[in-house]
Structure 1
Amino acid sequence: MYNPFFSSLMLAFEAQKVIELRLVRIAWGGSEAQSEMQSMVSEKLGAAIEAAGTLMTGGSPEGVISRYREHVAANTRRLTAA
């Protein structure tokens, strides 16, 4: 049986890194901070809509967690590359 606790815990740890990287970018200010704040909001809305759609079409909560982890990994790569 699949236990989503580990995936959820990993998502929480991975998300902390993205939060740290975003706060640093926002703290520096300027146009990059403004665009980061805008992308934060649009990404969160998009991810919530995607998660709701997945669950409404019969997807599992584990699938939603897995997809969120993909989003977090992509943000980590993007924020550490700059």
Structure 2
Amino acid sequence: MIGPWLNMSLLALESQQVVALRLARLAGGGTTAWREAQLMVLEKLEAGHAAAGRLAGGATTDSVVDDYRRTVQANARRLSHPS
């Protein structure tokens, strides 16, 4: 049972990195911040819809967390580079 808990804990830690990177991008203002805010909201809506659909279709919560982690890691890579 440690697997799912570890997976969720890693998601929480990785998400905090993305939150910090996004806050820095948003604090910069301008069109870059505006695009990031729009992307962030769109990603949240899409991710929630996809997760609900997968869970309704019988996916495990652990596999849904894996998908979230992949998205969070991609965001961390993207946000770590100057725009």
Q: Same fold (TM over 0.5)?
A: yes
CA distance in 2, matches of 1:47, 1:3: 22
TM-score when normalising by structure 1 = 0.95
Misfit runs of 4+, over 2 Å: none
TM-score by length of 2: 0.94
- Deviation of residue 4 (structure 1)? 1.0
CA distance in 1, matches of 2:77, 2:8: 20
In structure 2, distance between residues paired with 1:29 and 1:52: 33
Q: State the one-letter code of the partner of 1:49.
A: H
RMSD: 1.0
Structure 2 counterpart SS, 1:3: helix
Matched length: 82
- Where does structure 1 lack aligned partners over 5 or more consecutive residues? none
